[in-house]
Amino acid sequence: MRIFLALLLTAVSGVVATGAEAADLYGGDVPCAEQPSNGNVRLCGGETTTWDGATQIDVNVVLPPAPSSGDDGPYPLIGVFHGWGGSKIGLEDKRVQDWAERGYAVFSISDRGWGDSCGGMDPDRLLEPTACAAGYNHLLDTRYEVRDAQYLISVLADEGVAIPDKIGATGVSYGGGMSLALAALRNRTMLPDGSLVAWKSPAGTPMELAAAVPQWPWSDLAYSLMPNGSTLDYRADNPYRGPGGDAPIGVEKSSYVTGLYGIGLASSNYAPPGADPGADLTGWYTLINAGEPYDSNPLANSIVAEITTHHSSYYIDHSQPPAPLLIQSGWNDDLFPVDEAVRFYNRTRAQYPGDPISLFLMDDGHARSQNKAADEALFLQRLNAWFDHYLKGAGSAPSSSAEALTTTCPAASASAGPYKAGDWLSLSPGEIRFGDAAGQTVLPGAGDPSIGTTFDPIAGKDPCATASGADQAGTANYRLSVPAPGFTLLGSPTVIADLATTGTNSALAARLLDVLPDGKERLVARGLLRPGPGGDDVVFQLHPQGYRFAGDDTVKLELLPADPPYSRPSNLQAPITVTDLELRLPVLEQPGALGGLVQTPAAPGRAAASPVAGPSTRNGVAELAGRLRSSRRAARVPLRCAGGPCSGQLLLRSGKRVLARNTYSMRDGAKEGIPASLTKRGRKLIASKRRAGKRSLKIRVRLTDAGRPAPISLKRPLRLR
């Protein structure tokens, strides 16, 4: 059917229009014109009214060149959405012309409060304020901005431009958030009261998103801006408040939140403070920026509830699967890190294991990303293949997989990879574990501000930047020398530790650093935790990374009270004592590599988490297989493995003292004496027992074994030699 508005408006069938120009769109509001300098694609641009009957939205639609004969539409449609601070996308984006020349209609809008959709400098807003009464920035609210996109796409279906069930969505950053929300809704739309109804066009045509490719998206905006450490990449479900619903409000990413608010203040259109509790951006910013305490403040809790309920795709009802998703995120994106993609991916894979969803991870995104042209070109191939299959039926179905390119320095060096696996966790078949049972204390105010500035995404911007690798007073530090030829981190560094503090308002910032042979350090990964009152066996993760540590480098984990200017220091920071710490690094190398340093990944946490995302392999069970003995320096714990490969952690205690600990990795059927170096306190205790003539010591052995649902604790005598 030729794109011909009059045909639909008058319901007269059989009328055919001629000529190269497409009819004007949106009831004549948006004129179209052929673009000879762009391959004769047709650009339709202008403002039209959205679903509320009042708000004007600025639209671009780019159509394929007019056919010399035959039907002119309907076409599969790609919606491409802009980032924060941007506006509608047109032919300045080379992909748009390419898509149109390949037979797609391409749709874009300026979201409410941006550009000429009642943005900061929109003439309608300045000259006719009532025209923008509802056109302010709602922070990508599912009920407003997302519904605007759905409504305006559905009008194109009624006008014969778009195939109603062959709709795709993509975009970066704010546009990634839009496209992920559209995928989560799929064939539904959210009304202002928060209820979901079927997505239909004004003429009643059922609408459905066929595929989405969000780039640099968030899935949980509250966690993106104020992470609390509750997200764990091996868990299938990761709500902001944690599995028990009691996780605290997190730590503000100060430099980003302040920068984003300032951009919007200058170029967007915010509602007056207090005018709309669902879009009170100025009120929210003022409260959050004032700092702790948050959890005792009902307004702070209401902000988190609003952001998660109406501005985060993860919380859209998921009783049906999302549209086929290819999610792309960047390792060095300090605003919307890789775990924003992994969170949505994990739950979808666990709930709908046969449905198409893939990850593509590389060094691109917001600052501090490098955005290498070769990497982006490879991803564009993946994006086009995804849309071609799901919107046109062309080519074979892309595999549901996780694919990764790594961060490399200097910027001119090519990324390593791509590495590909069937799921997120399988990208890293091996694990390196190290730590220290001894206590270290993180003191309020500790840390060198100049190092924080070097590693800040706004002030620093460069993932290859270096600073002094010397340990900073009042921080906790843990180091591992890297043997040749090195290893590749590919996933989320996991910290397990006992934390002791007072109050519930302290923060803990973590940096994973590569200390180079010249003594300089490079930031590899970072994370923020609100530890609450602390406790034993606290588990949290740094944001994922793909990065190669070279032989002769040193892995360094640094714990600080804050990471300014990136994170906001707490108003109520207390000292945090860290003991019994273990760091787990997921790596590309196979178990047994580097002389056995690389092990089989241990069970999640010190106590197995449930449920675990993705497919699991059969693990064996390790058990004690003889007498425990100790020399002056180390204990030896005999273990027998049966039922499959065994891996885990053993811990020896006498009362509250940690005597020794180690990890183990054993093949099925093996019996081994696992050495466990004594801690300083362990050596002192055993030496005193020897001097007293004791030949044994009653201890407890805790086995945290991958093959068991929970740790076991056994009383055993430790023979002293």
What is the rounded distance in angstroms from the CA atom of residue 368 to the CA atom of residue 524? 11
Closest CA to 166 of 223, 119, 123, 105: 105
Q: How is residue 595 written in tokens?
A: 């002389």
Average pLDDT, the chain: 92
> pLDDT (tens digit, 9 = 90+) per residue, 75-133?
999 999 999 999 999 999 999 999 999 999 999 999 999 999 999 999 888 788 788 89
Residue 396 counted as domain residue: no
- Token pair 């997505």 is found at 199
Range from 90-94, 195-199, 607-611, 654-658 carrying the lowest mean pLDDT: 607-611
What is the rounded distance in angstroms from the CA atom of residue 514 to the CA atom of residue 368? 16
Tell me the residue range of the domain where 11 lies: 1-225+235-323
> pLDDT (tens digit, 9 = 90+) per residue, 425-463?
999 999 999 999 999 999 999 999 999 999 999 988 799
Query: Looking at residues 561-587, what average pLDDT do you find?
Result: 97
Residue 3 has pLDDT above 50, yes or no: no
Please give the single-letter amino acid code of residue 308. T
Percent over 70 (pLDDT), the chain: 94
Integer CA distances (angstroms), 248 to 222, 251, 296, 541, in order: 12, 10, 10, 16
> pLDDT (tens digit, 9 = 90+) per residue, 328-349?
999 999 999 999 999 999 999 9
Angle formed by the axes of helices 174-185 and 145-158, nearest 10°? 60
Residue 349 counted as domain residue: no
Angle formed by the axes of helices 281-290 and 254-267, nearest 10°? 150
Q: Which residues contact 389 (CB under 8 A, 6 or more apart)?
A: 211, 395, 396, 397, 398
CB 196 within 8 A of CB 317: yes
Residue 209 counted as domain residue: yes
Where do the DSSP E strands lie in 561-691? 576-587, 621-624, 628-630, 634-642, 646-654, 657-666, 671-677
- pLDDT-based confidence at residue 4 (cuts at 50, 70, 90): very low
Q: Which residues contact 642 (CB under 8 A, 6 or more apart)?
A: 620, 621, 623, 668, 669
> pLDDT (tens digit, 9 = 90+) per residue, 154-173?
999 999 999 999 999 999 99
The last residue of one of the domains, among 323, 343, 358, is 323
Rg (the chain; Cα; Å): 28
The last residue of one of the domains, among 323, 341, 368, is 323
Look up the CATH number of the domain holding residue 721: 2.60.40
Query: What was the pLDDT predicted at 144?
Result: 98
Residue 453 counted as domain residue: no
> pLDDT (tens digit, 9 = 90+) per residue, 236-293?
999 999 999 999 999 999 999 999 999 999 999 999 999 999 999 999 999 999 999 9
- pLDDT-based confidence at residue 363 (cuts at 50, 70, 90): very high
- pLDDT-based confidence at residue 640 (cuts at 50, 70, 90): confident
The last residue of one of the domains, among 323, 341, 372, is 323
Residue 360 counted as domain residue: no
Please give the single-letter amino acid code of residue 204. G
What is the rounded distance in angstroms from the CA atom of residue 542 to the CA atom of residue 359? 19
Residue 413 counted as domain residue: no
**Total number of domains constituting the chain:** 2
Look up the CATH number of the domain holding residue 279: 3.40.50
CB 574 within 8 A of CB 508: no
Better-predicted residue by pLDDT, 194 or 619: 194
Taking the complete model, does pTM exceed 0.85, yes or no?
no
- pLDDT-based confidence at residue 619 (cuts at 50, 70, 90): low
What is the rounded distance in angstroms from the CA atom of residue 72 to the CA atom of residue 442? 67
CB 181 within 8 A of CB 142: yes
How many C-beta atoms lie closer than 10 Å to residue 601's C-beta?
23
Farthest-apart Cα atoms in the chain, separation: 106
> Which helix H or strand E contains 29, and what residues bound it?
none
What is the rounded distance in angstroms from the CA atom of residue 403 to the CA atom of residue 419? 6
HEC assignment per residue over 42-103:
EEEEEEEECCCCCCEEEEEEEECCCCCCCCCCCEEEEEEECCCCCCCCCCCCHHHHHHHHCC
Q: What is the DSSP letter of 336?
A: S
Residue 32 counted as domain residue: yes
Q: How is residue 402 written in tokens?
A: 């996780």
What is the rounded distance in angstroms from the CA atom of residue 628 to the CA atom of residue 636? 6
